[in-house]
Amino acid sequence: MSIEEEFERVGLVPVVVIDDARHAPGLADAMVKGGLPIAEVTFRTDAAAEAIQAMAQNKNMLVGAGTVINVEQAERALVAGAQFIVLPGFSAEVVEYCQQRGVPVFPGTTSATEMMAAIKLGLGTLKFFPAEANGGASAIKAYGGPFGGLRFIPTGGVSANNLAEYLALPQILAVGGSWMVPQKKIAAEEFDEITELCREAVSLAQELRKE
């Protein structure tokens, strides 16, 4: 199963912000137990690369790097064991770097111009970020007209409360969010609660996909 197929199967891409890599193994175990074995570990903290390395030790986890803004970060992420790269915006340089190494890459886009640039580089799945601030599900639906071949991973302002709006759209591959992996609960090592939040999120996503 490809990474995109795994994203679609689960319907969610948890966005993980981790301040201390010592919490990473327990978090990985909790997410696997909750049926959500995917993590986009953001490069917003100094612990990101080490956390990716630790989480990647769990063979049931699919671990990638998020908030990657340059080639240097992409390289660090891949050395740490990241299996996919997510960008907050569009960077042809980072996309091409990942493509040359055969690594799935999902740049952030919010405009037709960026989407056209992504298509030119052969991409078919893009992050839509920040989703809610840029029109949310209605905007993605509108882009489905001229860009019917693209699929999106909306992230930013997405939660259990508006998940249904996104998953109702055929062009949504999966939805990114952090409500099932709260930064405070990671820091407090409240892993049983994270397992339950992951389980609830997966159940909700599966229900909504059936509707």
Catalytic residues: 40, 127
Q: CA angle, 113 as apex, 112 and 119 as ends, to 5°?
A: 85
Give the total residue count for the chain. 211
- Residues 6+ away with beta carbon under 8 Å from 59: none
Q: Distance between CA atoms of 7 and 10, rounded to whole angstroms?
A: 5
Give the pair of three-digit tokens for residue 158.
Answer: 């997405």
Please provide the DSSP assignment of the chain as one string. Answer: --HHHHHHHH-EEEEE--S-GGGHHHHHHHHHHTT--EEEEETTSTTHHHHHHHHTTSTT-EEEEES--SHHHHHHHHHHT-S-EE-SS--HHHHHHHHHTT--EE-EE-SHHHHHHHHHTT--EEEE-STGGGTHHHHHHHHTTTTTT-EEEE-SS--TTTHHHHHTSTTB--EEESTTS-HHHHHTT-HHHHHHHHHHHHHHHHHHHH-
